[in-house]
Amino acid sequence: MRAIDMPTIDHRGPTFQDLGKRVLAGIRTIFKTKNPVLIYPASGTGAWEAALVNTLSPGDLCLMYETGHFATLWKKLAERLGLRTEFIEGDWRHGADAKAIGERLQADTNHEIKAVCVVHNETSTGCVSPIKAVREAIGAAGHPALLLVDTISSLASIDYRHDEWGVDVTVGGSQKGLMLPPGLSFNAVSDKALKAQESAKLPRSYWAWDEMLAANENGFFTYTPATNLLYGLDAAIEMLHAEGLENVFARHQRHGAATRAAVEAWGLEVLCAEPTHHSGSLTAVLMPDRKGADALRKIILDRFDMSLGAGLSKVADQIFRIGHLGDFNDLTLVGTLGGVEMGLKAAGVAHKSGGVDAAMAVLGDTETASYRQAA
């Protein structure tokens, strides 16, 4: 926030050019790619659209996986653009099933499916999809479909490797692991995605990669960039490198483990039913009898000024979500869990006390302890 609080400079001048070159190079290290990353002055939804319109043509079939609310929204967006979609149904308690994706691709002998779209960390459920396994399943099926992945709530918080995992387009946003306000979003692209762009027929102008990539080569943008957010991005990249990306991932994993220990001690259930899909960014908690989450959230907001995530669409009022991503440390987590535990009591929700103690036992384990290192 301090980095953003600066005069907005001329985005065609040399000072901006230095900043542009720095953030365009720096953001590649966060996605773990050697290829370019497009930076849009838009929310994540814009980058979803950009990923599709730059690589696909009207009527193309996208295989998508129903991990939860955000996968469903991406599917709707694709349909509005004139794409055909096919959903592999999920129960909102697991990440994507790589085996099911592989089997569907194997059956697609005519190669009608042009893209596989998966949400890495489903923000509505707290379930993480195994992207490496999805890529391997696509490879094992010998299928040429592109792999498009949404990392809006996993980038810079959960281990992610654009190049190594062979992802074609990775969609990201500024407002979560990058610790910035909303307003920037990203497309990291593979060589195969860049090639697909040459023949893709969906109409595009604002989102078109080609002219933007040409301007980016010199550190500039074709239209007015969100200059002040780019000052913030520059600072965020520096902070992430100062801590070390691997330490950032480990910190999020610890906070996820501590939160789940609290939920278990309360006698409540974590929504994500598959331990290998548990999220380091957020934990969704099922209410006893699957009701009353919104009343609990209201009490916690009114009493402690803490806003927990709501259950969305299919799980409305059944769950609440504890976010533990971004600029977050052991003490902010203990405070957060303290607010939840006091709220459960105040709302009369059946539970056992001792969740905060259970979380502190995980956090106090010196073997796993990490704290922010000075730059």
Interface residues with ligand PLP (CB under 6 A)? 43-45, 70, 119, 123, 150, 152-153, 173, 182
Least Cβ distance, residue 118 to ligand PLP (angstroms): 11
Q: Which is nearer to ligand PLP, 27 or 152 (CB)?
A: 152
204 annotated among ligand-binding-site residues = no
Q: To the nearest whole angstrom, how small is the minimum distance from the Cβ of residue 74 to ligand PLP?
A: 7
Quick one: 189 or 362, whose CB is closer to ligand PLP? 189
Count CB neighbours of 253 within 10 A: 18
Nearer residue to ligand PLP within complex by CB, 144 or 182: 182
| Smallest separation (angstroms) from ligand PLP to the CB of 183 | 9
Q: How far is the CB of 95 from ligand PLP (least distance, A)?
A: 12
Nearest to 259 by CA among 315, 338, 327: 338
β-sheet with 269-270: strand ranges across:
269-270, 282-286, 319-323, 309-310
Q: How far apart are CA 279 and CA 273, in angstroms?
A: 11
Q: Residue with the closest Cβ to ligand PLP?
A: 44
Instruction: Closer to ligand PLP by CB, 52 or 344: give it.
Output: 52
Q: Which is nearer to ligand PLP, 182 or 203 (CB)?
A: 182
What is the spatial distance between Cα 54 and Cα 50, in angstroms, rounded to a whole number?
6
Give yes or no for a contact between 322 and 333, defined as CB atoms under 8 angstroms apart. Answer: no
Are 153 and 325 within 8 A, CB to CB? Answer: yes
Residue type, 136: E
Residue at 44: amino acid letter: G
CB of 55 or CB of 125, closer to ligand PLP = 125
Minimum CB distance to ligand PLP, residue 268 (Å): 23
Q: How far is the CB of 232 from ligand PLP (least distance, A)?
A: 16
Question: Can you say which residues are annotated as belonging to the binding site?
Answer: 321
